[in-house]
A and B are shown apart, each in its own frame.
Chain A
Amino acid sequence: MKWLQRHVRPEQVRELSLLLLIIVAVVFFGSMIDGYYTSRTFNRIVSSVAIITIVAVGQTLVVLTRNIDLSVGSVVGCTAYFVGTLLGRYHDLNPLLAVLTAVALGAALGAINGLLVAWGRIPSIIVTLGTLAIYRGILVDLSGARTVTTDSLPGWLVGLPRLNLMSIGGLDLPALFMLAVAIVLIFHLGTGYLAVGRRFYAIGSNPDAAALIGLPIRRLVFLAFVLSGALAGLAGFVTLARYGNITVESGRGLELAAVAAVVVGGVNIFGGSGTVLGAMLGAIMIGTLEQSLYRLQISEFWRDAILGLLILLAVASDAVILQRLRALWGRADLKIVTEPPAEATVAAGARSP
C-alpha cells in the first residue's frame, strides 16, 4: 500500500483502471462477436478515434482551468465546411496552408469564446452554449445548406485517410490517427513540462492561491479557449479528409463526445487534475464502444446511454470517492496531530474565522 502510494498517483490510478476497463471491454466484445480480433476491427476503431481525440485534447485544456467548451462541434463543422469549400475552389492550394487555415479559423472562433469568458465574466457554459448555436447558424447561413462533396476535393485530400504511415502485421496506423497521437504527445508533454501548461493546472486547482501569487488567470483561460478552438479547427480538417462529404450538420454532437472522453479519461470536471493522455484513453474507450456495439448488432443506440452512465460515474467517483479518500487522509492527519495528549490540539481551523 505504501509502495502504491509512493509510486502511483491518484490520476494514474484512474488512467490505469480505465486501461483495464478498455481491455475488459475488448475481451467482452471478443467473446460476443465472431472474428472480433481482426485487423479490421482495430483499423475501424483507430480511424474513428482520431477526431474525438484531437477535440478532447483541446477540451482537456479548457476543463483543467475549471471551464467547459461546448462549441467545439460547431467549430469543427465550420472549419470543415469552410476549408472544404476553399479546396473545392482552389485545387492547387498548398496542403499545409489548408491545414493552417483550418487551425487559424478554429483559433479565431475559440478566441471569441475566450474573450467572453475571461473578460466578459460570463460562465463558460453559457458562452459556449450560445456560440454552439451561433457558429452553427452562421455555417448554415453562409453555406446556404449546400454540401461539400468528395469529388470537388483535390486528390491528395481524398487519399489522405487511406494513407498509412506504417503497418504492423495487418494493423494499419493511418496518418490521421498518427496525427492525433502526435497532438496528444505534444500536449501531454506541453502540459507536463511547460510552465504555461502547469499554470493551467494551478488555476484550476486553487484559483484563490493562483490569484494571490499573481498568475495571469484571464490570459491563461483565454489561451485555453484559443487552443481548444485551434484543435477543433484541426479536427475539422481531419473530418473533411476522412468523410469528404461535408454537410452543415458535420460535427454536431461532437462536443458531448469530447466532454465525455475528457471526463471518462479522468480529467476532473472541476479542474486542476487529469492528463491529456487520460483524455485520449477516454476517447479510445468511447471509440471501442461505438465500433463494437455497432458490430454487436444490438444497437449502436446503446452508446449514448452507456456514455451518460460513464460520465455520471466518473463525476461521482471524482466527487464522492475522492472526497472519502481525502476525508480518510484528513482523519489520519488529525490522528497524528492528537497523538501527544498533553498538547493535543483541536483543529482550530475547522471553522475558518
Chain B
Amino acid sequence: MTILGRLKSWEGLLLGLLAVIVVMNILRSPYFLGAGNIANLFQLSIEKIIVALIMTLIIINGEIDLSVASIMGLAACVLAWLFQMGASLPIAIVGGLLAGLAAGLFNGFWVAYVGLPSLAVTLAGLIGFRGIARILVEDRAIGGFPVWFNTLGQQGILGPITASILIFAVLFAIVAIVLHGSALGRLVYVIGNNLQAARYSGVRVQSVKMTLFAASGLIAALAGILYAARLGSVRGDMATGFELDIITIVLLGGVSIFGGSGNLAGVGLSILVILNLRNGMGLANITGNTQTSVIGALLIFSVLAPNLAQNLQRRWIGRKT
C-alpha cells in the first residue's frame, strides 16, 4: 500500500488517535465515560461544532468563511440589543437570526456574484461584523434574559442532553443527508473539485455559493444565540477567535483546504478527537491557552501531513523509475 493510499484512510488515522485519547482519559479519570461527562464534553464546545458542520460544506466547495465567529457575536448582540430596546425575546431571537442571514448574504454576494476571493471578503467580515456587534452593545454585558432562555442553553432536556446538543445532532443529520444524498451536496463537491467543469456542465455555480454563505451566516447566528443562552449574558467580544477552532476541526477531519474532498464522517471523528483532547488536557490541568496552541499545531499538521506524504511518495516513485 502506498503512503498516499494509507493517508486516504484519514478516518482510520483519526479513529486510532481517538482510541488512544479516550483510553488515556479513562485511565486518568474513572468518571470520564459517565453520561454526564460526555454530554458536558459536547456542551462546552457545542457552538463551535455546530458551525463546523456548515464550514465543512464551504471548505469542500473550495471557499472559506473567516467571519463565522464575528457573525456569532453579531447575532447575539443584535438579540441583546433588541431585547434591551424592549422587544420580546422570541422577536429578538428572530432578529439575531436575520442579522446572521444578512451577513451571510453579504459575504455570498461579494464572493459569488462579484467574484472576490472569500478569504479577503470574510476577513473584512471578520472585522466589520464584529465592529457592528460592538457598536450595538459597546463594552456592556447585557443579561437579565427570561429564565427559559438560560435554561435552554444550560439545562438538559433529555437527561443530561441539552437543547443545543439536540440541535447539533439534528443539524449533523441534515448536513450528512444534504452533503451525501442531495443534489446540492453533489454540486458542492463538483464545484470544489473543478469549478470550470461544473460551469461547463450547466451547474449554477453562483447560486450554490450564495446558498452556502447564506446558510453559514444563519447557522453561525443560531450558534451565537445558543452561546448567549449558555452564558446567560452577551458581550461585544463573545466568540472572538472561534474561527480558528472551527476551521481546525474541519481540516483535521480530512477536508482539503483546496476543496473537493472530505466527508462528514471524518469531520465527526475530528470533532470527537478535539473534544476528547481538550477534555483530557483539562483533566490533566493543562490551561485553555495551551489547549489552543495544541489545536493550532494540529491545524498545521493536518495540512502538512498529506503534503509530506506526497513528497515522500514522489521521491519513492522517482527512485523506482
- Give the B-binding residues of A (Cβ under 8 A): 116, 120-123, 125-127, 129-141, 248, 256, 259-260, 263, 269-270, 299, 301-309, 311-312, 315-316, 319-320
Contacts and interface: CB of A to CB of B under 8 A. Distances in A.
A137 B114 contact: no
A134 B299 CA distance: 10
B114 A133 contact: no
Given A134-B296, A269-B117, 14 more contacts: A122-B307, A126-B251, A127-B300, A130-B299, A134-B297, A140-B290, A141-B293, A304-B127, A304-B128, A305-B135, A307-B131, A316-B114, A316-B116, A320-B116
Contacts of B114: 316, 319-320
B131 A138 contact: no
Contact of B304 (A116, A256, A259, A311): A116
Interface string B214-257: 00000000000000000000001000010010011001000001
B175 interface: no
B260 to A, nearest CB: 15
B168 interface: no
Given A130-B300, A141-B287, A301 B236 contact: yes
Nearest to A71: B296
A137 B128 contact: no
Interface string B256-294: 010000000000000000000000000000010111111
Contacts of A320: 114, 116
Contacts of A116: 300, 304
Interface stretch (B118-126, B148-156, B192-200): B118-126
A10 B209 CA distance: 32
B257 A126 contact: yes
A69 B125 CA distance: 18
Contacts, number: 134
B20 to A, nearest CB: 22
A299 to B, nearest CB: 6
B304 A141 contact: no
Contact of B135 (A122, A136, A141, A302): A302
Interface string B160-196: 0000000000000000000000000000000000000
B39 interface: no
A127 B301 CA distance: 9
B58 to A, nearest CB: 14
Contacts of B132: 305
Nearest to A135: B293
B303 interface: yes
Given A137-B289, A304-B130, A316-B116, A311 B123 contact: yes
Contacts of A129: 244, 247, 296, 299
23 contacts: A122-B307, A125-B64, A129-B296, A129-B299, A132-B244, A136-B289, A137-B289, A137-B291, A137-B296, A138-B293, A140-B289, A141-B287, A256-B127, A259-B123, A299-B134, A299-B135, A302-B135, A307-B128, A307-B131, A308-B124, A308-B125, A312-B124, A319-B114
A256 B289 CA distance: 20
Given A304-B130, A308-B125, A133 B135 contact: no
Contacts of A133: 241, 244, 292-293, 295-296, 299
B144 interface: no
